[in-house]
Chain A
């Protein structure tokens, strides 16, 4: 029983981390209809940035997450403006092909350059917080903080998208692009903002990723795929859905690992992805 509880707690914490990382992908896919395969690489860059911030500037991960998040917000805007903005006029078919090529190309270039400049070795931030023990189960404080941050972020983003004008404008442009244009919404600026936000979230998550695990130059593509599974399961276009998707997948992986053996847990994530696509493509909370 104690083991079950520990696994459950671990899964919730892990799911929170998945959600944090996947938010950005959900934004760019839900709003911009762009399959951003380079998402994982911005996370990786955030991780490397956090490492250097600690080593050369002595910044702890929380501070560097915010700093890097802000920096990568600008990077995301620049990236979108330079590469992705012109894709928006294409047909859905053409958009898919073009966005796959452009984001895949960017991902490969980023990974290779990082490997070349950093020497190729994995990097991790040696920062630790203690753990709480309660009722026989252990709660690592760092993960609890991240979970809390993810929850707060989910609520904040939810509020943002339903109460503020900017947020509603973003949603409007998702639902009906031409309608939004008619109403006077500056779609281009919305797109830039959304993408920048997504990238900022990715980089911020990357710092914590490097603290909890390690980051290495070639990790981006596989991670992007994992997050894709998260947003598909939770429902594309739904932000609470990202959270739910993260929890579902993390829990499935954790319990499979404990009861069936760790070798089967990667399969679980993809099996759920495929099953979700076939049974309920809108995801658990999605509304398409």
Chain B
């Protein structure tokens, strides 16, 4: 090229042509796909797998498709990821570069990390799929409250006592077990801290089944007068010192707990875990247990009508 020709080209206004030029190639070629790693609670991963099973699809492919679909309608997606759940499991997903770029752009627009957005999309889609398939998000991935209760009453505290005195203590101990299991919480903040009506229901179910000591089960045949009177007395509530209902397994209940432990290594492991939690938490009087629960899990004490009283008590205890 001559100097004159070069000067002519440099003097020319190229601004309009610039818009029509093809994109310059990457200096370093990018792979066609990229892997992202999502950290999830174990229960969530189990739920994804369950939905995939129900649809006969590989769960990685299903989760990937949920991200792609979710990016098309990301404005409509709203998921509250529970803060208290520990993300123990990971899900490695291969995404094509275009999807990953889209994910990053959307995440940038929403002012959140793109991993978090991907996780939200997957969780949202899981919930939708569960609803469509009629799957219960909680029950299938966690031990039932009734199972936890049987194992809790089969375990013992540091004094070697397996009975639990009072519904409040039973509620709080099962709550702590569930929290320690890092599973999705079935308890919610209520008037006296964490509560779940399923605990009352499960306790009643165990009584009816004959698993609770000194409680009359539902009669399997026509009831005798003595059985009817026993039910009448029970209705009047506990008598004697403290007037607190005692929950302790009957012989039949302990046998059922033993069977449960032997049925599966997972239940044996669960029993050992519950036993250790009980020894750590079921140590003193009820107030002490309540104070510890409120302190360790303040979110679940947020609606409590005795929150201030508990706080004062905790302060006094600390001062001592």
Whether both chains belong to one complex is answered with: no
